[in-house]
């Protein structure tokens, strides 16, 4: 892998590395067991990035010891000398205790290495250790060892992967705790239906069931129950569990003296997590923010809307049932790693299959990637879009809208592009106009009459609904036509 070869990295290599990291993340998508997630990550780093070996430790419930739960590559045992590491001991324990990442490209020379001969004999040069932490709370440590120096660009990719892994592991750990509680409370021979579990959580609410209950995936059931716990803290007075043909929804009414919006809005993720138990005046959006990443990951929608009298807030959670993997394909190639990761996530949420197939639509913001032979979906931004694109998209789209855009392009249609189009002659005249040429000069250069030049310019003004030539030029530039 070029990322570990010691050579210079270009933007294409970084994007490829991000794609590899995303494929590692997809390998444990929907998994709610911590150890299988950790094993997928460790093995993925070895397989896709050719590191010598990779390991993940998780903090045990007593918060004093780290337990090795995954090891891949040169060493696969998890019960060796470093199978249990006290907090603050060795480099792994210090990374967990101080929540500070560490990088070295000369491992044998590090004073903390206990066996330098081992590092030299096995040609281990690079080491990267990252705390798996959410805010001030650490849940584990990821470490990888390499035969080659680790490039700074690759470390950004690794850090991005660690962020995703931390969220997945924390969700799985919390789920396992809740699962144990549910199992203790459940009847021995008959598991409780979801509505029964909701009734137990929302004891002070009036609960209504609409539709026939259907079995849900573990992750969807967990999300509904987790939302119910938050609603209970918010003193929910009324709730409805609704089963439709395609989705399951939980609607609720909570008293609200601090509504934050007058129209339905997706619940934002706050900078600092808050605890509804300790702060009764906390805003509803912050109380719900803990579950928002789970909603997004399952392709659902979480919305809040104040009632007409502003005395209460309606909260709606809507989750689609699990669907088979889509045959609709998409290639994502963005210049920015952030854009690449964001649109990759949006595509996955929309149920698309990511690929490198040249026949699949290409989503990009890279001018050089656009060609008349490709079905290009352009990422809207500060840069005007080029010609020969089939659609324009941005971050305001919901997953379903994004999927509609890709479907339209696959069917030979356009999406998100104004219907107005200028002819080649009209564009040619506009380009000459931007270069300072007068009508007579343009006519001479194109070997047409001056009246023909004026005729074309009048057509341009009409098509673009511009009052002056300068407005027309500005609109054409804004659209990326010239």
How far, in Å, CA of 294 to CA of 300, rounded? 9
pLDDT at 143: 94
pLDDT at 189: 45
pLDDT bucket at 282, cuts 50 / 70 / 90: very low
Listed residue (255, 230, 299, 235) closest to 30, CA to CA? 299
Give the residues across from 66 on adjacent strands: 59, 85
pLDDT bucket at 45, cuts 50 / 70 / 90: very high
How far, in Å, CA of 147 to CA of 222, rounded? 42
Kind of pairing between the strands at 265-266 and 301-306: antiparallel
Q: How would DSSP label each residue in 176-226? A: HHHHHHHHHHS-SSSPPPHHHHHHHH-TTSEEEEES------HHHHHHHHH
Q: Is the pLDDT of residue 285 over 90?
A: no
pLDDT bucket at 480, cuts 50 / 70 / 90: low
Q: How many CB atoms lie within 10 A of CB 211?
A: 12
Q: Is the pLDDT of residue 296 over 90?
A: no
Listed residue (231, 238, 246) closest to 209, CA to CA? 238
415: DSSP letter: B
pLDDT bucket at 209, cuts 50 / 70 / 90: very high
How far, in Å, CA of 157 to CA of 337, rounded? 8
Distances (CA, A) of 14 to 52, 142, 320, 389: 20, 21, 33, 25
pLDDT at 44: 92
Does residue 169 or residue 309 have the better pLDDT?
Answer: 169
- Domain map of the chain by residue range? 2-180, 188-320, 329-410, 424-478
pLDDT at 186: 55
For residues 214, 216, 220 and 223, what is the CA-based torsion angle, rounded to 10 degrees?
60
Q: Is the pLDDT of residue 257 over 60?
A: no
pLDDT at 111: 86
Instruction: Give, in words, the CATH class of 424-478.
Output: mainly alpha
Helical (H) or strand (E) element with 317? strand 312-320
Does residue 465 or residue 480 have the better pLDDT?
Answer: 465
Question: Residues 73-103: pLDDT tens digits?
Answer: 999 998 888 899 999 888 999 999 998 888 8
Lowest mean pLDDT: which of 42-46, 180-184, 238-242, 451-455?
Answer: 180-184
Most confident of 14-23, 133-142, 177-186, 325-334: 133-142
Question: Residues 315-360: pLDDT tens digits?
Answer: 999 998 865 555 788 998 888 877 887 788 788 778 788 888 888 9
Q: Cα-atom radius of gyration of the chain, to the nearest Å?
A: 28
Kind of pairing between the strands at 312-320 and 247-255: antiparallel
Q: How would DSSP label each residue in 117-138? A: HHHHHTT--EEEEEEEEETTEE
Q: Which two tokens stand for residue 449?
A: 């009459």
pLDDT bucket at 377, cuts 50 / 70 / 90: very high
How far, in Å, CA of 165 to CA of 168, rounded? 5
How far, in Å, CA of 340 to CA of 366, rounded? 11
How far, in Å, CA of 153 to CA of 128, rounded? 13
Topology at the third CATH level for domain 188-320: Heat Shock Protein 90 (3.30.565)
How far, in Å, CA of 129 to CA of 144, rounded? 7
Q: Is the pLDDT of residue 278 over 50?
A: no
Q: What is the mean pLDDT of the chain?
A: 82
Question: Which residues, 6 or more positions from 386, have their beta carbon under 8 angstroms from its beta carbon?
Answer: 367, 370, 378, 480
Lowest mean pLDDT: which of 170-184, 251-265, 277-291, 378-392?
Answer: 251-265
Topology at the third CATH level for domain 2-180: Beta-Lactamase (3.30.450)
pLDDT bucket at 56, cuts 50 / 70 / 90: very high
Percent above pLDDT 70 for the chain: 86
| Under 8 Å between Cβ of 37 and 168 | yes
Q: Which CATH number fits domain 329-410: 1.10.287.4070, 3.20.20.70, 3.40.50.2300, 3.20.20.80?
A: 3.40.50.2300
Mean pLDDT throughout 20-39? 88
Question: Residues 401-444: pLDDT tens digits?
Answer: 898 999 999 988 888 876 666 777 888 898 888 888 889 989 99
What ranges make up the beta strands (E) of 108-261?
126-134, 137-146, 206-210, 238-243, 247-255
What pTM was computed for the model? 0.41
187: DSSP letter: -
How far, in Å, CA of 254 to CA of 237, rounded? 6
Question: Residues 144-188: pLDDT tens digits?
Answer: 999 988 887 777 788 888 888 998 899 889 888 888 877 666 544
Mean pLDDT throughout 298-306? 84
pLDDT at 27: 86
In the chain the first and final C-alpha atoms are separated, in Å, by 40
| Under 8 Å between Cβ of 292 and 349 | no
pLDDT at 169: 92
How far, in Å, CA of 293 to CA of 346, rounded? 12
How far, in Å, CA of 151 to CA of 2, rounded? 9
Mean pLDDT throughout 442-455? 90
Listed residue (2, 353, 355) closest to 157, CA to CA? 2
Q: Is the pLDDT of residue 40 over 90?
A: yes
Long-range contacts, 35-43 (Cβ 8 Å, 24+): 35/69, 35/70, 37/165, 37/168, 37/169, 37/172, 38/69, 38/70, 38/140, 38/169, 39/69, 39/70, 39/72, 41/70, 41/142, 41/161, 41/165, 42/70, 42/71, 42/72, 42/73, 43/70, 43/72
pLDDT at 138: 93
Helices (H) then strands (E): counts for the chain: 15, 17
pLDDT at 260: 38
Q: How many CB atoms lie within 10 A of CB 97?
A: 16
Q: How many CB atoms lie within 10 A of CB 40?
A: 21
How far, in Å, CA of 127 to CA of 124, rounded? 8
Q: Is the pLDDT of residue 283 over 70?
A: no
pLDDT at 384: 60
Lowest mean pLDDT: which of 203-207, 248-252, 348-352, 439-443?
Answer: 348-352
Give the residues across from 330 on adjacent strands: 354
pLDDT bucket at 386, cuts 50 / 70 / 90: confident
């Amino acid at each position: 892998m070029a990322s570990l070869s010691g050579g210079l990295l270009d933007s294409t290599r970084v994007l490829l590395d991000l794609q590899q990291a995303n494929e590692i993340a997809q390998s444990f998508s929907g998994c709610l067991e911590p150890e299988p997630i950790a094993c997928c990550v460790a093995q993925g780093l070895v397989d896709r990035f050719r590191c010598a070996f990779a390991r993940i430790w998780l903090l045990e419930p007593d918060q004093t010891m780290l337990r090795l739960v995954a090891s891949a590559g040169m060493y696969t045992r998890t019960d060796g000398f470093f199978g249990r590491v006290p907090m603050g001991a060795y480099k792994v324990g210090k990374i967990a205790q101080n929540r500070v990442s560490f990088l070295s490209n000369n491992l044998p020379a590090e004073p903390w290495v206990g066996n330098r001969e081992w590092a030299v004999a096995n040609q281990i040069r690079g080491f990267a250790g990252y705390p798996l932490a959410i805010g001030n709370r650490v849940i584990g440590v990821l470490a990888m060892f390499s035969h080659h120096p680790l490039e700074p660009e690759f470390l950004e990719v690794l850090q991005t992967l660690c962020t995703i892994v931390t969220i997945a592991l924390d969700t799985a750990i919390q789920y396992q705790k809740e699962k144990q509680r549910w199992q203790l409370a459940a009847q021995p021979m008959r598991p409780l239906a979801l509505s029964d579990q909701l009734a137990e959580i929302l004891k002070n609410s009036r609960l209504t069931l609409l539709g026939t209950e259907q079995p849900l995936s573990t992750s969807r059931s967990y999300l509904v129950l987790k939302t119910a716990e938050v609603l209970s803290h918010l003193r929910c007075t009324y709730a409805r569990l609704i089963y439709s043909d395609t989705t399951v929804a939980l609607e609720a009414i909570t008293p609200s003296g601090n509504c934050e919006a007058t129209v339905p809005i997706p619940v934002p993720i706050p900078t600092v997590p808050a605890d509804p138990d300790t702060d009764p005046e906390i805003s509803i959006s912050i109380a719900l923010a803990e579950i928002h990443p789970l909603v997004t990951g399952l392709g659902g929608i979480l919305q809040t809307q104040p009632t007409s009298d502003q005395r209460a807030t309606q909260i709606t959670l809507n989750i689609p049932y699990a669907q088979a993997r889509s045959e609709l394909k998409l290639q994502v190639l963005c210049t920015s790693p952030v854009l690449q990761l964001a649109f990759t996530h949006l595509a996955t949420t929309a149920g698309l299959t990511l690929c490198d197939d040249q026949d699949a639509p290409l989503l990009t913001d890279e001018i050089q990637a656009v060609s008349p032979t490709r079905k290009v979906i352009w990422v809207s931004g500060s840069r005007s879009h080029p010609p020969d694109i089939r659609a324009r998209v941005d971050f305001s789209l919901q997953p379903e809208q994004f999927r509609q855009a890709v479907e339209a392009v696959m069917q030979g249609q356009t999406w998100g592009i104004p219907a107005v189009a200028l002819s080649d002659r009209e564009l040619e005249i506009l380009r000459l106009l931007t270069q300072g040429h007068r009508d007579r000069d343009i006519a001479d250069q194109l070997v047409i009459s001056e009246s023909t030049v004026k005729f074309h310019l009048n057509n341009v003004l009409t098509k673009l609904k511009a009052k002056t030539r300068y407005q027309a030029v500005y609109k054409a530039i804004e659209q990326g036509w010239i």
